[in-house]
């Protein structure tokens, strides 16, 4: 492993390069982990790409709900690609070094895409609210222009703030140790390596987390409180079941993503442990994106029908 440091004034070693420890403590399982994470990455790429293809090709899926789902699938591919390929290279080569610029770039894209996911999930909740609570006005409210604006807004809203936050964190002085006890450059393990008082930076992380995690989550809760009150007023049990089934997949993804992300970024510093941070990060950066295509496809009749149609066409053309 490379430990590149540079002598600064006052005989303090300034870190120029980090070492991602990742799963180096599991020395006997490096090959096994490489195989498992490679399979997961392939599943994520294929599953989410299939959703994008289906929503583009099938006329029955030309609806706002599936437009946002295609955006979400593209986001999941991008989100995982920021962290997983680097982790696979580290497992394969056992060279865990990463330059400060590469580390900052990885963190910045990870944070930007994480913010996009929060707001896109909120937009998808609003779409379900419009469909269930205002079905007659739904085609007017969620027209193509509005859908594009909401999607583009979700993709770009976090860019300036997260670039600023990443720059602020990497303006810190890192000294003595350059070993990041994580499998990618995330905020908590990087701040741990900073020397001096990091209170202001930690507070800024909480503020940004509240802005990009808590606010979308509150909007989602507001949407679903209206949705559930509307569903409970429906006269028939079958109508209630049908209305709830259109929301259940999204609700499950929201619980999985926001639950793990909230515990990671908003719990007190005293409760942080490297092992728990890695486990939670694995959950919302890799496990959830792997299950999202299954959650949306297996619980959605339109997607299953489109998939059957696509497979049937392929069999017919052979």
CATH code at position 52: 1.20.1070.10
Predicted local distance difference test score (pLDDT) of residue 176 = 65
User: Contact at 8 Å (CB) between 40 and 286?
Assistant: yes
Predicted local distance difference test score (pLDDT) of residue 270 = 59
User: Contact at 8 Å (CB) between 183 and 278?
Assistant: yes
The answer to whether residue 14 is domain-embedded is: no
Name residues whose C-beta falls within 8 Å of residue 242's C-beta, 6 or more positions apart in sequence.
none
Q: How far is CA 132 from the centre of its chain?
A: 26
User: Contact at 8 Å (CB) between 47 and 290?
Assistant: yes
The answer to whether residue 51 is domain-embedded is: yes
Question: pLDDT tens digits, the chain, 318 residues: what are they?
Answer: 444 444 444 444 466 789 999 888 888 888 999 999 999 999 999 999 999 999 998 888 899 999 999 999 999 999 999 999 999 999 999 899 999 999 999 999 999 999 999 999 999 999 999 998 988 999 999 999 999 999 999 999 999 999 999 999 998 888 868 899 889 998 888 998 888 888 888 888 888 888 888 899 999 999 999 998 988 888 878 777 877 777 888 888 888 888 877 777 666 665 666 677 787 788 888 888 888 888 877 667 778 888 888 777 655 555
How many domains is the chain built from? 1
The answer to whether residue 8 is domain-embedded is: no
Name residues whose C-beta falls within 8 Å of residue 207's C-beta, 6 or more positions apart in sequence.
none
Question: CA-CA distance, 100 to 229, in Å (whole number)?
Answer: 50
DSSP character at residue 271? G
Domain of residue 302: give its range: 27-316
Backbone CA torsion sign across 183, 184, 189, 195: positive
Predicted local distance difference test score (pLDDT) of residue 243 = 72
User: Contact at 8 Å (CB) between 293 and 51?
Assistant: yes
> Nearest to residue 127, comparing CAs of 300, 135, 117, 228?
135
The answer to whether residue 105 is domain-embedded is: yes
The answer to whether residue 9 is domain-embedded is: no
The answer to whether residue 7 is domain-embedded is: no
CB under 8 Å, gap of 24 or more: what pairs does 231-238 form?
231/132
Name residues whose C-beta falls within 8 Å of residue 128's C-beta, 6 or more positions apart in sequence.
65, 223, 224, 227, 246, 247, 250
Predicted local distance difference test score (pLDDT) of residue 7 = 44
Question: CA-CA distance, 300 to 189, in Å (whole number)?
Answer: 39
Predicted local distance difference test score (pLDDT) of residue 195 = 85
Label residues 135-173 b or e (16+ Cβ within 10 Å = b). eeebeeebeeeebeebbeebbebbeebbeebbeebbeee
Question: CA-CA distance, 311 to 305, in Å (whole number)?
Answer: 10
The answer to whether residue 245 is domain-embedded is: yes
Residue 91: its H or E element? helix 64-93
User: Contact at 8 Å (CB) between 37 and 87?
Assistant: yes
């Amino acid at each position: 492993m490379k430990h590149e440091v540079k002598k600064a004034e006052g005989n303090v070693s300034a870190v120029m390069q980090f070492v991602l420890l990742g799963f180096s403590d599991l020395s006997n399982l490096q090959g096994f982990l490489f195989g498992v994470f490679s399979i997961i990455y392939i599943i994520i790429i294929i599953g989410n790409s299939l959703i994008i293809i289906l929503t583009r090709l099938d006329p029955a899926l030309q609806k706002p709900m599936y437009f946002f789902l295609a955006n979400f699938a593209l986001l999941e591919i991008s989100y995982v690609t920021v962290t997983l390929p680097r982790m696979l290279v580290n497992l394969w080569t056992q060279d865990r070094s990463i330059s400060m610029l590469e580390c900052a770039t990885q963190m910045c894209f990870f944070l930007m895409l994480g913010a996009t996911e929060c707001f896109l999930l909120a937009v998808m909740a609003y779409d379900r609210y419009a469909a269930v609570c205002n079905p007659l006005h739904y085609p007017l409210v969620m027209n193509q222009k509005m859908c594009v604006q909401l999607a583009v807004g979700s993709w770009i809203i976090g860019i300036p703030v997260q670039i600023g936050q990443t720059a602020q964190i990497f303006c810190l002085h890192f000294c003595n140790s350059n070993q990041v006890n994580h499998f990618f450059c995330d905020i908590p393990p990087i701040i741990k390596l900073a020397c001096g008082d990091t209170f202001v930076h930690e507070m800024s992380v909480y503020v940004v987390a509240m802005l990009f995690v808590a606010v979308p989550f509150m909007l989602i809760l507001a949407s679903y409180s209206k949705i559930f009150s509307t569903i409970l007023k429906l006269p028939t049990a079958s109508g209630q079941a049908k209305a709830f089934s259109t929301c259940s997949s999204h609700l499950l993804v929201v619980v999985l993503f926001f639950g793990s992300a909230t515990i990671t970024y908003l719990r007190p510093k005293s409760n942080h442990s490297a092992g728990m941070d890695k486990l939670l990060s694995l959950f919302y950066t890799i496990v959830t994106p792997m299950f999202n295509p299954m959650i949306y496809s297996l619980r959605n009749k339109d997607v299953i029908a489109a998939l059957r149609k696509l497979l049937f066409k392929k069999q017919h053309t052979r």
